[in-house]
Amino acid sequence: MTYLREWIEAATMGIEALAVAIMVTFILVGTGRWLLNSPQGIEKGYDRYRFVVGKSMQVGLELLVAADIIRTVALDATLYNIAVLGALIVVRTLIAWTLAVEVEGHWPWRETKEAGPDPQGGIHG
């Protein structure tokens, strides 16, 4: 049982590390690409930059939620820990929705937006 607990803890830490690595990598790569394209105009690439950063943060948040769920359910399933997990999920979900609205221009449950920045850098609507 101790080995299983250690393995689950290592797995959740790995998922958390993956989440951080994805966020940091894509933010650095996105920033680098945006700055390298600055001779063409920083404003032109800004919508694409926001899209890349926002999406990488959304993926990272989803992975962090998954790690928290695994840890809580498999290792520490007390009423207090489940309540804390619920609060974390609510906060991270609200952050993810806010990022979705900021990046995509509409609420996550809506299929399309009426107008706003195109992920490819243009404006449509």
Is the pLDDT confidence value at 115 over 50? no
Q: What is the pLDDT of residue 1?
A: 67
- Overall average pLDDT of the 49-55 stretch: 86
Q: Confidence band (pLDDT; 50, 70, 90) for 80?
A: very high
**Cβ distance 7 to 71 under 8 Å?**
no
Q: For the whole prediction, is pTM greater than 0.85?
A: no
Q: What is the pLDDT of residue 120?
A: 52
Is the pLDDT confidence value at 125 over 60? no
